[in-house]
Amino acid sequence: MDGNANGREQKKQGRSVEHLQELYTVVVAIALSLVVARLIPAPGGKVTVQPFLLSAALLVTLIPFYHGALRHLDEQYAGAGARQARGFVLVDFLVLFLESCVFLALAVSVARPEVFAWLFFALLALDVVWVFLTTKFLANGSDLASQRMWRTINLCAALGLLIPFFTVSSGNLSYVVLAMAIVRTSVDYALTWRFYAPTSTSGLT
């Protein structure tokens, strides 16, 4: 009976995670559609380079965040190898939902470099907080080496992003943000590729 009850609880938790993944996917799709809409100038409007640079920065950042969030949820909650205790999914749900809201805000700010840069900083800081909570209090002894690496990468990127706010002109800020996004994502995939694309011999972390 206990085995059956545990199996039912695991299925319920799995469904909750699937709903979170679906919600996250929908919000990401909306963010992408908003970006596309803002790249199309109004009739007679002037085409500027900043929205294209910041849209590229958003896309470069969104891909690993989306990829990593879904991999994290799969590893921690889905299937027979689920590691998290009941209720922890609520914390992941809350923080990932907040991150998805920041992506929406970034999408509507691609024509405003200063606002976009601060939102980008907020996204990195929020992810650092999420990883801290996950690895310190919610992991139940799980090996979350890749998640800890995200914390280090995003913390360094967030601190590095603060410098341009005081040293770079508004006209050049878009270039700096795009460069930071490319470097952050490149380092992320380089250091945690085994987590993003696990093989039968490499494991999941």
204 is a domain residue: no
User: Which residue from 31, 183, 53, 186 is spatially nearest to 111, judged by alpha carbons?
Assistant: 53
What's the one-letter identity of residue 2? Answer: D
47 falls in which pLDDT band (50, 70, 90)?
A: low
Question: Using N-to-C axis directions, what is the helix angle for 88-107 and 50-77, rounded to 10°?
Answer: 170
44 is a domain residue: no
Mean pLDDT score across all residues of the chain: 81
Maximum average pLDDT range among 71-85, 139-153, 182-196: 182-196
Q: What is the C-alpha to C-alpha distance for residues 154 and 36, in angstroms, rounded to an integer?
A: 26
Tally of CB atoms within 10 A around 121: 19
Q: Would the pLDDT of 110 be above 80?
A: yes
10 is a domain residue: yes
pLDDT of residue 203: 46
pTM: 0.82
Please name the residue that has the structure tokens 């969030």.
69
201 is a domain residue: no
202 is a domain residue: no
170 falls in which pLDDT band (50, 70, 90)?
A: confident
pLDDT of residue 82: 54
168 is a domain residue: yes
Q: pLDDT digit string (tens) for 49-59?
A: 888 999 999 99
Residue 139 near residue 83, CB atoms below 8 Å: yes
Q: What is the C-alpha to C-alpha distance for residues 134 and 152, in angstroms, rounded to an integer?
A: 14
Q: Of residues 113 and 32, which shows the higher confidence score? A: 113
Q: Would the pLDDT of 107 be above 90?
A: yes
Domain total in the chain: 1
Q: Which domain holds residue 152?
A: 2-39+49-196
